[in-house]
Amino acid sequence: MSSVLLSAKELSRNYGQQQAVHNVSFEINKGEVLGFLGPNGAGKSTTMKMLSGNLAPNHGEIIINGYDLLTQPKQAKSHIGYLPEQPPLYKELTVKEFLSFCAQINQISSTKIKSAVDTAIDRCGLTEVTQRLIGNLSKGYQQRVGIAQAIIHTPAVVILDEPTSGLDPIQIREIRHLIRDIAKEHSVILSTHILPEVEMLCDRVQIINKGQLILSDTIEGFGLQMQTSCLLLELSFPPAIEVLQSISGVLNVENITDTLFQINYSPEHNPTNQIVSEASAQQWQLTQLTPQQHSLEDVFMKIIRDETQLNEQAV
């Protein structure tokens, strides 16, 4: 198994009386993309702030590449790159000036600054805007500068807090592309409330709600949660509903329209093949046969709902 680059143990953080993050533990391995998923106000940003050393946890420890963030902050921080929700930029500087400054404060030796800046500019697709003032760039480009700032010192772990929020769909696609590119060389922790983003980018998913981790799974495992045993079937000349019901494996059939049926089946006995051969033999004229999936939204809501129900029962 690959080495652990960042491990957080029993992180807790209060804001006054309110508990923002409670007892959150997780690890991230080399070359992994970890998605932090949760509704707004669930504690995602607080966790990210703690991981980047902007906020001290009330309880718990964070080890980055072998250095404890609380007792050896300098060494630990040199292994992380952080992009907060609002990209931290000096708008009066040009892209190049800003990135050179970032390289300097990240203790890159003066002989290597130029190559580090050029690499970051190249990787984030900023070549055309190097001499422009950051304040005059579009939001998408500003976000790229923010990402360039986070990877300039080639940190082991890159922490991105809602990197696609507030961008238009084209910019979102470009930023996602960029993140996938970055993930080839760095481990990435990504927070978002957009489910497809997690599906596209992440190897592992963690769902956080009301400051607590309620699910931690690989993206495949997460996908399994979404599987149902349900087919959508459309026939131009449908037989009587009983005929469909009698096909082995079918549990029940529901009419949606005259020609459209929803078929529930037992998971261990998939009737798809049977239906196809019956349809061609009996000339029902099959026009649609779609395996139904829960959307990520459904699963997300289900997990959060289950959790609240459990809590209520416990109370």
Partner 1 sequence: MLSLAKNELYRLFLSPLAWIILALSQLILAYLFLTHIDYFVQIQAKISAIPGAPGVTELIAIPLLSNAATLLLLIAPLVTMRLIAEERRNESLPLLLSAPLSTHQIVLGKYLGTFGFFMVLLILISLMPLSLSLGSQLDFGLLASGLLGLALLLASFTSIGLYLSSLTRQPTIAAMTTFASLFLLWIIDWAGNTQITAESENLFSWLSLLRHYQSLLQGEINSSDIVYYLIVISTFLILTIRRLDSERLN
Q: Which residues bind partner 1 (CB under 8 A)?
A: 49, 52-56, 73-75, 77-78, 80, 82, 84, 86, 88-93, 97, 101-102, 104-107, 149
Q: How far apart are CB 8 and partner 1 at their closest, in Å?
A: 16
Q: Using an 8 Å Cβ cutoff, are 187 and 31 in contact?
A: yes
Q: How far apart are CB 130 and partner 1 at their closest, in Å?
A: 17
Q: Using an 8 Å Cβ cutoff, are 49 and 55 in contact?
A: yes
Q: Which is nearer to partner 1, 107 or 218 (CB)?
A: 107
Using alpha carbons only, how large is the chain's radius of gyration in Å?
A: 25
Q: Which is nearer to partner 1, 98 or 222 (CB)?
A: 98
Give alpha helix (H) positions in 106-184.
113-123, 139-151, 169-182
Q: Which is nearer to partner 1, 26 or 82 (CB)?
A: 82
Task: Give the list of residues 6+ apart from residue 102 with CB closer than 8 angstroms, or none.
Answer: 149, 152
- At 111, which amino acid appears? T
Tokens of 284: 């029902």
Q: How far apart are CB 153 and partner 1 at their closest, in Å?
A: 8
Q: How far apart are CB 146 and partner 1 at their closest, in Å?
A: 9
Closest C-alpha among 227, 219, 228 to residue 196: 219
Cα–Cα dist 70/13, whole Å: 14
Q: How far apart are CB 161 and partner 1 at their closest, in Å?
A: 9
* Residue corresponding to tokens 């980018």: 201
DSSP, residue by residue, 8-67:
EEEEEEEETTEEEEEEEEEEEETT-EEEEE--TTSSHHHHHHHHTTSS--SEEEEEETTE
Closest C-alpha among 271, 236, 265, 235 to residue 251: 265
Q: How far apart are CB 181 and partner 1 at their closest, in Å?
A: 22
Q: Which is nearer to partner 1, 47 or 52 (CB)?
A: 52
Q: Which is nearer to partner 1, 70 or 214 (CB)?
A: 70
Q: Which is nearer to partner 1, 45 or 192 (CB)?
A: 45
Q: How far apart are CB 178 and partner 1 at their closest, in Å?
A: 19
- At 172, which amino acid appears? I
Q: How far apart are CB 105 and partner 1 at their closest, in Å?
A: 4
* Residue corresponding to tokens 């009301």: 210
Residue 210: CB atoms within 10 Å: 18
Q: Which is nearer to partner 1, 11 or 102 (CB)?
A: 102
Q: Using an 8 Å Cβ cutoff, are 26 and 2 in contact?
A: no
Cα–Cα dist 305/231, whole Å: 25
Q: Which is nearer to partner 1, 57 or 211 (CB)?
A: 57
Q: Using an 8 Å Cβ cutoff, are 81 and 53 in contact?
A: no
